[in-house]
Structure 1
């Protein structure tokens, strides 16, 4: 009996490869990993975009109730809402500029309307000048009253000593302003009887001669100041406007004030005043809390000046809105966001988030590379296994050419079919490339040729021919 070790060795090797061949990893798992990474980066970019464009609501302190400042802020609030602007406003009404400044100082609001001549909070930064206020000092024309002699005509600030001076408005800030003017002229405020009249009672008090001179502070087109001066006219006489000739000295000593002039005819006809009058002015500022986002403040400033023209018809005071002083030595330093808008250095969306976008794209590319590497890593064993099977197929070509048993050829043919099935699975999973599949196909064809040639050779051997004819002799056909 002729036993061959080669077929047994070949069978054991084949069974070993088949048993050790691991199940190919599912491509779905790799796809899900890569897809999850892409979705994560897309989600981050979408979150950044939403954060950048979502509406922002700022709380703004303004007062007192019913003032022009409140009306302007309410108009801005409505306009921003109607235009679906990036920045929205939520007014917080206070008792006045002092209370508004306190709200900002305590961080309870984001914006506030304050007077520049009052104590400015340390955390306040200018966004815009809402309006400029001019100080108007005047004395009504003299008129004798029953049982009382008219005093000497007042033509200068220095003549206010021993007189009654009425201050229009109940805010103590205007009283302090009058005292600053009096001291500049060497007049002791204690020797002046200072009286305050509510805005709605000022005209009546002036007609009733409650004081010898009056002070008002407001815009040049202020209805309150114009009506108060008109109420001062008596028997066709015009009031005397008191020039503050020391305005430059006051501005030098108190930086919150500026030397200014009241043009002739500002307060109506007849000419009131009949010539330019020197005075001082100060501003009402829109200020923002220090640390508020530069992007938000820049957007608010841009919206404010864009909407200003639309408000001028209903609110003439809107025409007085001006850009803040961006100089480093400004009394109220400008907020960086407002300064960027004024100086034309405001950053666009791409300027602000280009770094995030670039890093996002880099991250997406890196995740894609990592995903590809990870997918390749998962298929590494599959590739190695397929390479071993291909080598096995090449070895089987040599074995087939030396095989002495048709049964062994059948078994190797069956093994080749298994290797073919495994190779096709690897190709579908992407574990092997098309070039590797072509090389395998060449090896498979060579194996089939070797098997076919060996079968023909074995069939032609004499013992095989005699064995093949034995059934026919037994049946008597030969």
Structure 2
């Protein structure tokens, strides 16, 4: 279409240079270049927007995870996960926030100082906490140490404790300094009708167990931790060294406790899990268990939690080789009546409903395209509205050119024709400017070219006719001849 317009505009009067053709070519070329630059700019803008959105969506995100106390197994597991995530350049990274224990970690999450936290399921769970994974399950181990060899005969003859109900009025030692283990013991004692207020509860560190047994400071011990906990195993080993094989106290009412306290579950301690000959314990022992959970802040985006959960279970095997306790990591309970509600992001991973990048952002992309289309339409309408006066003026100029065709065919003066030619050149200049600005389309320009060609033909024909017409004699000569009487 552009080349045909150039050919049409290049057809001008034959007796002179063609000023129109090169001008039209220049205008057309300039317009094409401008359009190309506009298209290129739009493409670059779209590519830049998509690249920027992809970068912000996929850039690594660091989550703060509260865990404690320092040097605990939980801290070691979290540190191993942190190093593995960083080494594999995962999209989610971890930054440990050390606390004084599970209670401190729960407080940090509730106060917004952490995005994730390792908490005990039998403690008060923050209202903004949602489960992501089960870091490990713990069991309660109750045992009565044998009397040390150095004990007096009177003390050795004391009634042997074989049931939890017999702990009434006794002295019970708890391994570890956390108050949560004290609360656990009280739950067990109350289930068997033992008033915790009538029991003397003393907390020991692992290093103090042997001395407590030797000096007969306690009648029974309670330890809470994983089945293969080194702390529990060391405490039982110390009991054996000082007095011989201990007596394990079963929690036969474990299921009843679980019914009354949903944070606990009925469990069993496998026979021989603590080693030795004979095996310790010799038979399975009923007990209760509770979990250490990795929980996330409720407002944490679902895609972020899904990515973290996916990374956690994908890398568990690698971390397990370095730190066997990581093998205890399990998926959370996704039931609606779970003690700790699951985070939607973790549930999406567990249920296989995790959304891809396009699934998450397809609506935004679609609405963005619709918005860009709407803005483009509005912009085109607004630009057309701003050029309304220019189009109106151009229409008037075209009508003026058509009127000049009729005037040129009746004109008797070459000077008048030259003046109209000059006016036509100005009309041409204004029309080309309108075309370059986008005020008129190529179809309108074609119609104008036809009118312009007809005008030039009319001027050329009229000039040729005037050149062939005889010249009228001067008026002065006529008067002179009349005066002479000839």
Structure 1 residues 461 and 315 mapped into 2: Cα distance closer, same or farther (>3 Å)?
same
- 2:321 match: secondary structure: coil
> How far off is 1:127 after superposition?
1.6
Question: Where do 1:84-163 residues align within 5 Å?
Answer: 84-149=89-154, 150=156, 151-163=158-170
Q: Which residue of 2 aligns with 1:65?
A: 70
1:219 equivalent to 2:226? Answer yes
Deviations 1:399-423 (A, max 9, x none): 1111111221222222223223333
Counterpart for residue 362 of structure 1:
370
Unaligned runs of 5+ residues in structure 1 are 1-23, 471-478
CA deviation string 1:72-129 (max 9, x = no partner): 1122222222233332222221211122222223333222211111222222222211
Structure 2 counterpart of 1:474: none
Contact 1:140 1:234 in 2 (8 A): no
- Alpha-carbon distance, 1:40 to partner: 7.8
SS in structure 1 opposite 2:162?
coil
C-alpha distance after superposition, 1:286-332 (max 9, x if no partner) = 12223232232222222222221111012111111111112121111
What is the SS of the residue equivalent to 2:412?
coil
Q: Secondary structure at the match of 2:122?
A: coil
Q: Does 1:437 align with 2:445?
A: yes
SS of corresponding position for 1:312: helix
Check conservation: 2:332, 2:342, Cα contact below 8 A: yes
Greater mean alpha carbon deviation, residues 413-422 or residues 299-308: 413-422
Match of 1:199 among 196, 202, 206: 206
Distance 1:204 1:32, change over 3 A: farther
Shift, 1:231, TM fit: 2.1
Aligned 8 A contact 1:41 1:360 in 2: no
Matches within 5 A, 1:19-30: none
> What residue number does 1:5 align with?
none
- Alignment match, 2:249: 242
Which of structure 1's runs of 4+ aligned residues deviate more than 6 A? 26-44
8 Å Cα contact 1:33-1:371 kept in structure 2: no
Q: Alignment length, in residue pairs?
A: 443
Task: Give the 5 Å matches for 1:339-378.
Answer: 339-378=347-386
CA contact (8 A) 1:164 1:211 kept: yes
CA–CA separation in structure 1 for the residues paired with 2:178 and 2:303: 35
Distance 1:81 1:256 in 2: 34
TM-score (norm 1): 0.83
Q: Distance in 1 between matches of 2:172 and 2:47?
A: 70
Distance 1:399 1:225, change over 3 A: same
Q: Deviations over 1:111-152 (max 9, x none)?
A: 221111122222222221111001111223344425343133
* Aligned residues of 1:383 and 1:426 also touching (Cα < 8 A): yes
Q: Residue 393 of structure 2: SS of its match in structure 1?
A: helix
Secondary structure of the residue aligned to 1:233 is: helix
5+ residue gaps, structure 2, are 1-26, 478-486
Q: Distance in 2 between matches of 1:430 and 1:121?
A: 64
Equivalent of 1:261 in 260, 268, 274: 268
